[in-house]
Amino acid sequence: MITLQAALAGALIGGLYALMAAGVSVTWGVLRIINLAHFGMILLSAYLTFQLVTSWGMDPILTLVVTVPGMFVLGGAIQWAYDRLGISELNSLLLSFGLLILMVQAVSIVWSADFQRMHESANPYATGSVTVGGLVFPITTLLAFGFAVSLIAGAHVALQRTFLGRALRACAEDPAVAAAFGIDHRRIGTLLGAAAGATAAVAGMLFALANALTPASAFEWFGTVFAVVILGGIGHLVGTLAAGVLVGMVSGVVSVVLSPAAAPFVLFSAIVLALLLRPQGLFATRGAA
Amino acid sequence: MTGRSTESPRAMRTSARDRAGGLRYAVAFVLAIAALATLSLYRETMGFPMFYLVLLTTMLFWVTQATSWNILSGYSGYFSFGQAAYVGVGAYTTAVLYGRHQINFYLTLVVSAALCAVLALAVGALAFRLRSLRGEIFALLTLAVPFILAALARIRPEIDGGQGVVVPIPPFPAELGRFQDFLYLINLLVAGAAVAVAFGMQQSRAGWALAAIRDAEDVAEGLGVATFRYKLQALVTSAVIGGVGGSVFALQIGFVAVESVFNLTIPLFVIVMSVLGGRTHWFGPVIGVAFIVLLQDRLTASGLGDWQLIALGVVLAGLVIIAPDGLYARLRARPVPVLATFALVTAALWIPDLPAEPLDAILAGMLAATAVALWRPRRRGAVPQTRAAETSAAVTDADAGTPAVTAADASAVARPSDAAKPATPATEPGEVLVECRGVARYFGGVRALEDVTLTIREGELVGLVGPNGSGKTTLVGLLSGNLRPTRGSIRVAGHEITGLPPHRVAHVGVARTYQIPRPFASMTVRDNVAMAIMFGRSPEPLAAARRGAQRHLEVVGLDALADVYPSALNLHQRQLLEMARALATDPKLLLLDEALAGLNPAEIDNAVEVLRRIHRSGVTIVIVEHLLRVVNQLATRIIVLDRGTCLADGDPRAVMSDPAVIQAYLGKRAHA
Amino acid sequence: MLEIRDLDAFYGDAQALWNVSLDVHSGETVSIIGTNGAGKTTLVNSIAGIHRSRRGRIAIDGVDVTGVPAHRVCEHGVAIVPEGRRVFPHMSVYDNLCLGAYRAGARPSYRDTLNEVYELFPRLAQRRDQRAGSLSGGEQQMLAIGRAMMARPRLLLLDEPSLGLAPVMVDAVFEAIEAISARDVAVLLVEQDVERALDISSRAYLLAEGRVVAGDTAEALRRSDEVRRSVLGL
Answer yes or no: is pLDDT of B423 > 60: no
CA angle B79, B81, B83 (to 5 degrees): 110
Residue to mutate among A168, A173, A177, with most C CBs inside 10 A, is A177
Q: What's residue A256's pLDDT?
A: 85
- Say whether A226 and B140 touch across the interface (CB within 8 A): yes
Burial of A81 (0-12, 13-18, 19+ CB in 10 A): middle
ipTM of the shown complex? 0.90
Number of domains into which chain C is organized: 1
Tens digits of residue pLDDT in C114-152 = 999 999 899 899 999 999 988 888 889 999 999 999 999
pLDDT category of residue A147 using cuts at 50, 70 and 90: very high
- Say whether A271 and B275 touch across the interface (CB within 8 A): no
Tens digits of residue pLDDT in B597-627 = 767 778 888 888 999 988 988 899 999 987 7
Separation of alpha carbons A63 and A80, rounded Å: 26
CA atoms within 13 Å, Cβ hemisphere of B552: 27
Q: Please name the member of A89, A99, A222 whose beta carbon is closest to the beta carbon of B136.
A: A89
Smallest CA–CA distance, residue C147 to chain A, in Å, is 9
Cα B401 to chain centroid, rounded: 38
Separation of alpha carbons C158 and C165, rounded Å: 15
Answer yes or no: is pLDDT of B130 > 90: no
pLDDT category of residue B131 using cuts at 50, 70 and 90: low
- Say whether A90 and B309 touch across the interface (CB within 8 A): no
pLDDT category of residue B47 using cuts at 50, 70 and 90: confident
Alpha carbon separation from A6 to A2, A249, B164, B424 (Å, rounded):
6, 7, 30, 80
Q: In this structure, is the dihedral angle defined by the CA atoms of residues B236, B237, B238 and B239, taken in order, positive or negative?
A: positive
Residue B1: closest CA among B169, B297, B227: B227
| Contacts B519 to C, Cβ<8 Å | none
Residue of C nearest to B472 (CA): C164
Q: What's residue B410's pLDDT?
A: 30
Answer yes or no: is pLDDT of A231 > 80: yes
Q: Please name the member of C19, C37, C194 whose beta carbon is closest to the beta carbon of B666.
A: C194
pLDDT category of residue B20 using cuts at 50, 70 and 90: low
The residue segments making up the domain with residue C16 are: 2-232
Answer yes or no: is pLDDT of C205 > 80: yes
Q: What's residue B667's pLDDT?
A: 62
Separation of alpha carbons A19 and A3, rounded Å: 24
Q: Which CATH class is domain B460-482+497-666?
A: alpha beta
Q: What's residue B199's pLDDT?
A: 92
Which is higher by pLDDT, B664 or B483?
B483
Mean pLDDT of B396-422: 31
Answer yes or no: is pLDDT of A48 > 90: yes
CA atoms within 13 Å, Cβ hemisphere of B55: 17
| Contacts B468 to C, Cβ<8 Å | 36, 83, 160, 163, 192
Hey, what's the torsion of the CAs at B131, B136, B142, B144, to 10 degrees?
-110
Q: Please name the member of B401, B644, B667 whose beta carbon is closest to the beta carbon of C195.
A: B667
Tell me, what DSSP letter sits at residue B72? I
Mean of per-residue pLDDT scores for chain B: 81
- Say whether B445 and C133 touch across the interface (CB within 8 A): yes
- Say whether C195 and B626 touch across the interface (CB within 8 A): no
Which is higher by pLDDT, B320 or B530?
B530
pTM to 2 decimal places? 0.80
Helices (H) and strands (E) in chain A — how many of each?
11, 2
Torsion region of B648: left, alpha or beta (phi above 0 gives left; psi -120 to 50 gives alpha): beta
- Say whether C70 and A176 touch across the interface (CB within 8 A): yes
Answer yes or no: is pLDDT of A285 > 60: no
Tens digits of residue pLDDT in B148-185 = 888 888 878 888 877 888 888 888 888 778 888 899 99
Tens digits of residue pLDDT in A201-218 = 999 999 998 888 999 888
- Say whether A181 and C100 touch across the interface (CB within 8 A): yes
Q: What's residue A220's pLDDT?
A: 79
| Contacts B2 to A, Cβ<8 Å | 88, 90-91
Which of A47-76 are b and which e, b meaning 16 or more Cβ less than 10 Å from the residue's Cβ? bbbbbbbeeeebebbebbebbbebbbebbb
Answer yes or no: is pLDDT of A227 > 70: yes
Separation of alpha carbons B91 and B109, rounded Å: 9
Q: Which residues contact B317 (CB under 8 A, 6 or more apart)?
A: A95, A98, A99, A102
Tens digits of residue pLDDT in C207-216 = 888 888 888 8
Which is higher by pLDDT, A97 or B21?
A97
- Domain positions in chain B: 26-295, 460-482+497-666
Residue to mutate among C50, C51, C83, C99, with most A CBs inside 10 A, is C99
pLDDT category of residue B393 using cuts at 50, 70 and 90: very low
Tens digits of residue pLDDT in B330-376 = 888 888 888 888 888 888 888 887 777 888 888 888 888 888 888 87
Residue to mutate among C42, C65, C102, C152, with most A CBs inside 10 A, is C102
Is residue B350 within 8 Å of residue B358, measured between CB atoms? yes
Q: Please name the member of A163, A173, A182 whose beta carbon is closest to the beta carbon of C88.
A: A173
Fold of B26-295: ABC transporter involved in vitamin B12 uptake, BtuC (1.10.3470)
Least confident of A254-263, B77-86, C28-37, C128-137: A254-263
Answer yes or no: is pLDDT of C106 > 50: yes
Q: What's residue A78's pLDDT?
A: 94
Q: How many CB atoms lie within 10 A of CB B526?
A: 25
Residue to mutate among A85, A91, A231, A278, with most B CBs inside 10 A, is A91
Tell me, what DSSP letter sits at residue B524? -
pLDDT category of residue B121 using cuts at 50, 70 and 90: very high
Residues of B with CB under 8 A from a CB of A: 1-4, 77, 79, 81, 126-127, 130, 132-133, 135-137, 139-141, 143-145, 147-148, 151-152, 154-155, 264, 268, 271-272, 275, 306-307, 309-310, 312-317, 320-321, 324
Answer yes or no: is pLDDT of A9 > 90: no
Whichever domain contains C36, its CATH number is: 3.40.50.300
Which is higher by pLDDT, B210 or B203?
B210
On whether any CB of chain A is under 8 Å from the CB of C71, the answer is yes
pLDDT category of residue B385 using cuts at 50, 70 and 90: very low
Highest-confidence segment of B149-163, B420-434, B554-568:
B554-568
Tens digits of residue pLDDT in C180-190 = 998 889 999 99
